[in-house]
Structure formats: structure tokens, C-alpha cells
Amino acid sequence: MPLKVLRTGATGFVGAHVLRILVQQGHTVVAAVRSQAKHAQIEKSYLVSTVSTVLVPDITANGAFNDAVQSEPPFDAVIHTASPSHFKSTEYQKDILDLCSKECSGCENVKRT
């Protein structure tokens, strides 16, 4: 039975593979993306009938997913692999701790909604 799935992190390494498998199995997916560029990436790769997007610019913001979870019919599942990331680090220890803190905030925001 096909599911309706909210997918965070759909354009990341793991997320892209999970998204592809969900679509291959016939599920309908709403991908939470952080930018118009990520939306365009999804739109270029998938049919609109199988994957749509919702913009969530900052997963660490309070209520970040409130609009994303509004769906009729409701979602059957949420698969969360989004992670705030940056690759231009100069203060590695500080940046790793900052990244971990933001990842925890993102997970909490998904859980709360």
C-alpha cells in the first residue's frame, strides 16, 4: 500500500538514495528543502505527481516544520535525515560542536511537530 511520506534531507547523500527508493516503491513524497535551488534539483529529477517540495529554510528555527506537516490527507510517515552543514570550516572544534547542536535542534523540531 503506497504511503504519503514527509522527507527531510532529501537532497543529501543518504536522503537522495532513500527518496529514490520511496518513489520506486510507489510512495508519494513531500520533500522539505532549504532553498529554491534544492527545490529545482528535486523538480528536475522527479515527476511532480510523485514528489513535491515544501520550503524549510532553517530546520533549527522553532516551529520550522509546522507548515510542512500540514497535509490532507495526513502523512503516514516522516523520514528525517536533514542536517545543517557547512564545509568552509576554520575553527574545527567549535564548528563540530555547533553542527551537533544544530542537528539536535533540527531533530527536536521534527519531533515536536
Q: What nine digits make up the cell of 55?
A: 520550503
Domain span holding position 96: 4-112
pLDDT exceeds 70 at position 107: no
Residue 95 makes CB contacts below 8 A (sequence gap 6+) with 86, 89
- Is the model more confident about 5 or about 49? 5
Q: How much of the chain, in percent, has pLDDT values that exceed 90?
A: 36
**8 Å CB contact between 52 and 58:** no
CATH of the domain at 51: 3.40.50.720
Model pTM score: 0.75
Per the structure, how many domains does the chain have? 1
| Region of poorest pLDDT, from 55-59, 78-82, 107-111 | 107-111
pLDDT exceeds 60 at position 96: no
Q: What is the DSSP letter of 57?
A: S
Predicted pLDDT at 29: 95
